[in-house]
Structures are given as structure tokens and as C-alpha cells.
Amino acid sequence: MSTNRKRPSKRLQKEIKLRLVITAGPTREYFDTIRFISNPSTGRMGYAIADAAAKAGHRVTLVSGPVELAAPAGVKVIRVETAEEMLKASRRAFAGADAAIFCAAVSDYRPKKRADKKLPKQMMNRRIELAPTPDIAATLGRAKGRRVTIGFALEDHDGRAHAERKLVRKHCDAIILNDPGNVGSDRASAEFLVRGGEWQVWPRSTKPQMARRIIQSLQRLWAARTRVTKAE
């Protein structure tokens, strides 16, 4: 076996079976028992990645915010609502995992206070004080050891520059720069950057096709990390 950084063969890639954590969907950050801050993420990209990973033979734990999607076949789904819950469930799954793909649209802020009853309109403070939520990718990335992690960046301007900073800040091995037009759409276009590499422009494709491409890229990263390269 060679120890150089050649692409692993298709056969070797097929033999790679990983334990994966995938985060997906939005989070909800409540300020009383009913009302919350959230975003319109549908979770479709994360669920498509989980499905593609399971079909490729990987063992997948999908930590999902509230979405309208059914669990993909063969995937263990842990349903959560808040960023704190998502961090807790992801951390537990990550402890026994080889890799993670952070696809969730985690709310950046949460209300500082969560009332234990629905607040009557008259009693609602018209200013909601906010506190930052934990960054799941960055928190788990800091102590990831040899695990491979991939993040997403959704940007509407200076995408590559923002994504490059996120790649480093979140300790990811690679980042997918997502187009805002992909949200809620059947198709997706993206650019992909591996640490120390060059940007690759991925063609517009369906989300399942994009998901398969992401899983193949993850397998390549894993193979490079464990130095499984094509036997010449």
C-alpha cells in the first residue's frame, strides 16, 4: 500500500464504513411555552445526506430539529428542538462516531428567559433579550481528534471568504458553500473546499445527487486521513 495522497480507489471507498452524525433542520428557541425564534430550514439537505450515507452502508445518527420529513430508512433519528438539545444529542453521538456533517440551520440566538406559561399579550415585553446559542460544529470540532467533520456555509455575498473563515473557526476538514437559492428548493448548487485545497464548483443537481457527492467526498477525506490509498 502506498502512503502518498493519491485518490482512494472506488473499491477502497466502498469498503469504508463509518459511524456518522448528521445535524439537520432548524432549531426553535422559545421565549414562552408556545412562541419561539426559528428559521425556514426544511431539513431536506440533511435528510438527503443521511439517506445517501445509509445507502452507502454507513451507520447514521441524524440529530434533527423540527421538520416535516420521515426518517430515512436505516437511519437513527434523534429529534430535538433547541440548539442546547441539539448540542447535547450530537455530543453523545459524536463520542462514538468517526465523522460528522453539520447541516442544521441552528438559530444563532435564543431568548435569555423562557417563561413557563404562555405570556398574555399585555404582559409581553416588547424587547426580547437574547443570548448566543452554542456553536455545535465549533464545540465538537475543538476536541474531535481524528474524526472528520464537514460544515456548511450559507452566504449571500463574499461567500468564499466567509466560508474559508468558518472552515477554520469551526475546525472543519471541509466546507460546503451553499447558495441561498437552495433553501426549500429541490435542486442545489454548491462549492466545496477541503482544508489546504482549491475551491471546487459543483454543478447544480438534485439534493439526493448532491448528498451522494458529499458522502463520496467524506469517504475520500476519511481515506486520506487513515492513509488508505489505491494500491498501485
The 19-38 contact track toward ligand C5P, x by CB under 6 A, reads ----x---------------
Smallest distance from the beta carbon of 108 to ligand C5P, in angstroms?
A: 6
The 67-96 contact track toward ligand C5P, x by CB under 6 A, reads ----------------x-------------
* Cα separation of the two ends of the chain: 7
The set of cell numbers assigned to 33 is 411555552
39 classed as catalytic: yes
Q: Is 174 in the site for ligand C5P (CB under 6 A)?
A: no
Which residues ranging from 92 to 111 are in contact with ligand C5P (CB under 6 A)? 102-104, 106
Q: What whole-number distance in Å separates Cα of residue 67 and Cα of residue 204?
A: 24
Smallest distance from the beta carbon of 87 to ligand C5P, in angstroms?
A: 8
Q: Which one, 83 or 214, has the nearer CB to ligand C5P?
A: 83
Contacts with ligand C5P, residue ranges (CB under 6 A): 23, 83, 102-104, 106, 133, 135-137, 151-153, 166, 170
Which residues are identified as catalytic? 39
